[in-house]
């Protein structure tokens, strides 16, 4: 599993880890049911604290991305990630609003903003198929 952490970033390490696993699922690098390394082995592979990996896995579990079994270990949710529901859409809107408000203030046009989103979508869809 390829994980790139930026130890200079102000973004917490566990948050970077959460996001990279979500990105891996979006890119279809990780398939439903696929095994992830145990907390211990991932922590040792990338040289970070057990607690940091555990925090990331717990958040991913809570949000339905992974399952954590005593015996089978950590796997990408075999039933697939829960689909977007009303609560998710509201949260997404809440997260997008500050980005769009700042873009407007900085004269970054709506067309450019939408193009950037499309480019990111394209970028994810270029992954393993």
Q: Where on the chain is the footprint of a copy of itself (CB under 8 A)?
A: 19, 22-23, 25-26, 65, 81-84, 88-89, 92-93, 95-108, 110, 113-114, 116-118, 120-121, 124
CB of 37 to a copy of itself, least distance (A): 20
Distance CA 23, CA 46 (A): 18
CB neighbour list of residue 53: distance below 8 Å, 6 or more residues apart: 14, 17, 39, 42, 43
- Give whichever of 73 and 113 is closer to a copy of itself, judged by the CB atom: 113
CB of 58 to a copy of itself, least distance (A): 16
CB of 22 to a copy of itself, least distance (A): 5
CB of 70 to a copy of itself, least distance (A): 25
- Give whichever of 32 and 35 is closer to a copy of itself, judged by the CB atom: 32
CB neighbour list of residue 3: distance below 8 Å, 6 or more residues apart: 17, 20, 42, 45, 46
CA-based nearest residue to 62, from 2, 94, 99, 14: 14
- Give whichever of 6 and 70 is closer to a copy of itself, judged by the CB atom: 6
- Give whichever of 28 and 40 is closer to a copy of itself, judged by the CB atom: 28
Asked if residue 103 lies in contact with residue 114, where contact means CB atoms within 8 angstroms, the answer is no
Q: Which two tokens stand for residue 123?
A: 């970028």
């Amino acid at each position: 599993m390829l994980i790139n952490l930026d130890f200079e970033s102000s973004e917490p390490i566990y948050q970077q880890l959460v996001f990279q696993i979500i990105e891996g699922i979006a890119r279809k690098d990780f398939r439903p049911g696929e095994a992830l390394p145990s907390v211990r082995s991932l922590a040792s592979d990338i040289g970070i604290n057990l607690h940091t990996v555990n925090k990331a896995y717990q958040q991913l579990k809570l949000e339905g991305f992974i399952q954590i079994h005593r015996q089978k270990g950590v796997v990408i949710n075999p039933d697939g990630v829960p689909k977007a529901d009303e609560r998710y859409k509201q949260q997404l809107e809440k997260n997008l609003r500050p980005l769009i408000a700042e873009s407007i203030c900085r004269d970054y046009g709506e067309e450019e903003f939408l193009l950037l989103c499309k480019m990111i979508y394209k970028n994810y869809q270029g992954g393993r198929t």
